[in-house]
Amino acid sequence: MRKRYFSIVRLLVVVLVVSSTHTVRGVLSSEDTFLWTWIGGSNSTGSSGSYGVQGVPNTSNVPPARYGAVFWTGADGVLWLFGGGSDLRDVFGDLWNYNLSTFSWTWVGGSASLNSAGVYGSRGVPNKSNHPPSRTQSAGWSDSYGNLWLYGGWNFNSGYSDMWMYNVSSGEWTWVQGSNKTNVSPTYGPRGNSSSSNTPGARYKTAAWVGLDDQFYLFGGSGANGSSYGDLWQYNPANNEWSWVGGSQEPDPSGSYGTFRQASPSNYPAGRYGATSWRDLDGNFWLFGGDGEIVRPGGLLNDLWLYNVSSKEWTWMSGDEKIGLNGAVYGEKGVPSSSNTPGYRSFSSGFVDSSNTLYLFGGSSPGACNDLWTFNITSLEWTWVDGDNTTNGAYSYGELNKTSNTTLPPPRYGAVLWDTDQNDPVLFGGLGKPGIYNDLFTLYIATPTPTPTASPTPSVTAEPSATTNVTQTAVGEGSAVCFPADASVLIDGLGNHLQISELRSGMAVMGVNGRGQLVEDSVLGWLHNEAGATAEILAIKTRSGKQLRLTRQHLVYRMIEHSRDFYGMTTAFSCISQKQQQQHQQEHIRQSLELDTSAVEAVFAEEIRVGDALLDVAAHLPDPVVAIETLVTHNGLYAPLTRSGRLVVDGVLVSCYGTYASHAVAHAVLWPARVDALRKVWGSGLGTEGIVGIMPYAERLYHIWTSAARVLTEARVSVVVAAC
Ligand SMILES: *[C@@H]1O[C@H](CO)[C@@H](O)[C@H](O)[C@H]1NC(C)=O
Ligand SMILES: *[C@@H]1O[C@H](CO)[C@@H](O)[C@H](O)[C@H]1NC(C)=O
Ligand SMILES: *[C@@H]1O[C@H](CO)[C@@H](O)[C@H](O)[C@H]1NC(C)=O
Ligand SMILES: *[C@@H]1O[C@H](CO)[C@@H](O)[C@H](O)[C@H]1NC(C)=O
Ligand SMILES: *[C@@H]1O[C@H](CO)[C@@H](O)[C@H](O)[C@H]1NC(C)=O
Ligand SMILES: *[C@@H]1O[C@H](CO)[C@@H](O)[C@H](O)[C@H]1NC(C)=O
Ligand SMILES: *[C@@H]1O[C@H](CO)[C@@H](O)[C@H](O)[C@H]1NC(C)=O
Ligand SMILES: *[C@@H]1O[C@H](CO)[C@@H](O)[C@H](O)[C@H]1NC(C)=O
Ligand SMILES: *[C@@H]1O[C@H](CO)[C@@H](O)[C@H](O)[C@H]1NC(C)=O
Ligand SMILES: *[C@@H]1O[C@H](CO)[C@@H](O)[C@H](O)[C@H]1NC(C)=O
Ligand SMILES: *[C@@H]1O[C@H](CO)[C@@H](O)[C@H](O)[C@H]1NC(C)=O
Ligand SMILES: *[C@@H]1O[C@H](CO)[C@@H](O)[C@H](O)[C@H]1NC(C)=O
| Confidence at residue 424, expressed as pLDDT on a 0 to 100 scale | 80
Q: How confident is the model at residue 116 (pLDDT cuts 50, 70, 90)?
A: very high
Q: Whole-angstrom Cα distance, residue 41 to residue 50?
A: 10
Residue 579 pLDDT greater than 90, yes or no: no
Tell whether ligand 1 has an atom less than 6 A from the beta carbon of residue 27.
Answer: yes
Mean pLDDT of 185-190: 97
Label residue 552 by pLDDT band (50, 70, 90).
confident
CB 163 within 8 A of CB 235: yes
pLDDT band at 32 (very low <50, low <70, confident <90, very high): low
Q: What is the pLDDT of residue 343?
A: 96
The predicted structure's pLDDT at residue 298: 63
Query: What single-letter amino acid sits at 35?
Result: L
Flag the least confident range among 60-69, 77-86, 251-260, 512-521.
Answer: 512-521
Q: What is the pLDDT confidence band of residue 50, given thresholds at 50, 70 and 90?
A: very high
CA–centroid distance, residue 27 to ligand 1 (Å): 7
Of residues 603 and 37, more confidently modeled: 37
25 secondary structure, DSSP code: H
pLDDT in tens, 633-646: 877 888 888 877 88
Q: Which of 116, 160, 173, 180 to mutate to test the pocket of ligand 7 (most atoms within 8 A of CB)?
A: 180
Across 167-176, 405-414, 577-586, 650-659, least confident range: 577-586
- Enclosing H/E stretch for 39: strand 34-40
| Burial grade of 321 (CB within 10 A; 0-12, 13-18, 19 or more) | middle
Q: Decide if pLDDT at 663 tops 80.
A: no
Rounded distance between C-alpha atoms, residue 671 and residue 673, angstroms:
5
8: enclosing H helix or E strand: helix 2-18
Q: Is residue 552 part of a domain?
A: yes
pLDDT of residue 610: 83
Check if the beta carbon of residue 67 is closer than 8 Å to that of residue 86: no
CATH of the domain at 66: 2.120.10.80
Is the distance from CB of 73 to CB of 418 less than 8 angstroms?
yes
* Over residues 575-585, mean pLDDT: 44
Question: Please, what sign has the CA dihedral across residues 256, 259, 261, 264?
Answer: negative
Give, in order, the Cα–Cα distances in Å from 121 to each of 249, 263, 644, 716: 32, 44, 41, 69
Q: Which ligand is nearest to the CA of 162?
A: 7
**Cα dihedral 154/160/165/171 (nearest 10):** -60
Give the pLDDT score at 341. 98
500 alpha carbon, distance to own chain's centre: 27
The reply to whether 432 falls in a domain is no
What residue's CA is closest to ligand 10, atom 8?
389
Instruction: Classify residue 337: in a domain, yes or no.
Output: no
Number of H helices and E strands in the chain, helices first, is: 8, 39
Among 113-122, 221-230, 329-338, 507-516, name the one with the lowest average pLDDT: 507-516
User: Which of the two residues, 43 and 607, has the higher pLDDT score?
Assistant: 43
State which H helix or E strand residue 578 sits in. helix 578-587
Q: Which residues contact 324 (CB under 8 A, 6 or more apart)?
A: 299, 300, 302, 343, 344
Q: Which of 69-83, 282-296, 472-486, 707-721 has the lowest mean pLDDT?
A: 707-721
Angle at CA of residue 272, ends 266 and 274, nearest 5°: 135
The arithmetic mean of pLDDT across residues 309-314, rounded, is 96
Between the CA of 281 and the centroid of ligand 11 the distance, in Å, is 34
Residue predicted with more confidence, 4 or 513:
513
Residue 549 lies in a domain: yes
Sheet with 621-633, side-by-side order of all strands: 547-550, 535-542, 621-633, 613-616
Q: What is the pTM of this model?
A: 0.69
Taking alpha carbons only, the member of 618, 483, 459 closest to residue 540 is 483
Strands (E) in 403-534, as ranges, are 416-418, 426-431, 436-445, 483-484, 488-490, 497-499, 508-512, 518-531
Closest C-alpha to ligand 12, atom 8 = 469
Q: What angle do CA 565, 553, 547 make, to 5 degrees?
A: 65
Read off the pLDDT of each residue in 690-718 and give the average, rounded to a whole number: 46
Q: What is the pLDDT of residue 479?
A: 45
How is 316-368 classified by DSSP, letter by letter? EEES-S--BSB--B--STT--BTT-B--B-BS-EEEE-TTSEEEEEEEESSSE
Rounded to whole angstroms, how far apart are CA atoms 152 and 172? Answer: 18
Cβ of 400 less than 6 Å from ligand 2 = yes
Q: What is the pLDDT of residues 71-107, one digit of tens each?
A: 999 887 799 999 999 998 999 999 999 998 888 999 9
Residue 586 lies in a domain: no
Region 625-652 average pLDDT = 84
Least confident of 13-17, 23-27, 175-179, 362-366: 23-27
> For position 554, what pLDDT does the model report?
80
Contact 352, 304 (CB under 8 A): no
In a domain, residue 661? The reply is yes
Question: Is the confidence at residue 671, as pLDDT, over 80?
Answer: no
pLDDT at 682 over 70: no
Confidence check: pLDDT of 462 > 60:
no
Three-state secondary structure call for residue 656: strand
User: Can you give the pLDDT at residue 684?
Assistant: 46
Q: Strands, E, within 180-284: which ranges? A: 207-210, 216-222, 228-236, 241-247, 276-279
Q: Which residue has the higher pLDDT, 635 or 510?
A: 510
Indicate the helix (H) or strand (E) that contains 16. Answer: helix 2-18
The residue among 468 and 655 whose pLDDT is bigger is: 655
pLDDT for res 545: 86
What confidence score (pLDDT) does residue 697 get? Answer: 60
CA of 448 to the centre of ligand 10 (A): 26
Quick one: which ligand is closest to 15's CA?
1
Average pLDDT, the chain: 80
Give the tens place of pLDDT for each residue, 274-310.
999 999 999 999 999 999 865 455 689 999 999 999 9
Which of 150, 165, 180 lies at the terminal end of a domain, its last residue? 165
- Output 445 or 218, whichever has higher pLDDT: 218
At which of 116, 138, 165 does a domain end? Answer: 165
Ligand 9 pocket at CB < 6 A:
355, 357, 376, 378-379
Q: Whose CA is nearest to atom 4 of ligand 8?
A: 195
Which atom from ligand 1 is nearest to the alpha carbon of 26? 7
Domain range spanning residue 608? Answer: 483-561+594-715
More confident residue, 80 or 655: 80
Q: Which residues of 458-468 are buried (b: 16+ CB within 10 A; e: fewer)?
A: eeebeebeeee
Cα 398 to ligand 2 centroid, rounded to whole Å: 9
Tell me what pLDDT residue 157 has.
95
Residue type present at position 607: E
Q: Assign 504 to helix, strand or coil.
A: coil
Which 3 state secondary structure label does DSSP give 533?
coil
Is 293 contained in some domain?
no
* Section 370-391 average pLDDT: 97
The answer to whether the beta carbons of residues 635 and 484 sit under 8 Å apart is yes
What's the rounded mean pLDDT across residues 531-549? 85
Lowest mean pLDDT among 239-243, 363-367, 622-626: 622-626
> Of 22-31, 189-198, 706-715, where does mean pLDDT reach its minimum?
22-31
Reading phi first (left if > 0) and then psi (alpha if -120 to 50, else beta), residue 258 is in: left
Q: Determine the distance separating the centroid of ligand 6 and the alpha carbon of 169, expressed in angstroms.
A: 7
Query: Which ligand 3 atom is at minimum distance from the Cα of 56?
Result: 14
Rg, Å, the chain Cα set: 26
Q: End-to-end distance of the chain based on CA atoms, in angstroms?
A: 26
DSSP string, 378-396: TTTEEEEEES-SSTT---B
Measuring CA to CA, which residue among 235, 234, 273 is closest to residue 251?
A: 273
> What distance in Å separates the CA atoms of residue 527 and residue 536, rounded to the nearest whole number?
18
Q: Is the CB of 101 within 6 Å of ligand 4? A: yes
Return d(Cα 408, Cα 537) in angstroms, integer. Answer: 46
In 3D, which of 226, 209, 218, 207 has the Cα closest to residue 243? 218
Domain CATH code at residue 608: 2.170.16.10
The pLDDT assigned to 487 comes to 92
Asked if residue 382 has pLDDT above 90, the reply is yes
User: Contact at 8 Å (CB) between 178 and 159?
Assistant: no
Query: What's the Cα-to-Cα distance from 677 to each of 616, 621, 639, 681, rounded to whole Å?
Result: 33, 36, 22, 6
> Which of 55-64, 119-128, 458-467 is predicted with the least confidence, judged by mean pLDDT?
458-467
Measured over all CA atoms, what is the biggest interatomic distance in the chain, rounded to whole angstroms? 80
Q: In whole angstroms, what separates CA 532 from the centre of its chain? A: 38
What's the Cα-to-Cα distance from 108 to each of 126, 264, 427, rounded to whole Å?
A: 16, 45, 20
104-111 and 139-142 as β-strands: parallel, antiparallel, unpaired?
Answer: unpaired
Q: Region 206-230: what's the mean pLDDT?
A: 94
State the Cα torsion 201-202-204-207 to the nearest 10°.
0
Domain count along the chain: 2
Whether 491 has a pLDDT exceeding 80, the answer reads yes
Domain final residue pick, 137, 165, 193: 165
Is 673 a member of any domain?
A: yes
Going by C-beta distance under 8 Å and a sequence separation of 6 or more, which residues neighbour residue 579?
none
Confidence of residue 162 (pLDDT cuts 50, 70, 90): very high
Task: Check residue 513 and give its pLDDT.
Answer: 75
What pLDDT, on a 0 to 100 scale, did the predictor assign at position 575? 34
Give the Å distance between the CA of 148 and the centre of ligand 6: 12
User: Is the per-residue pLDDT at 497 higher than 70?
Assistant: yes
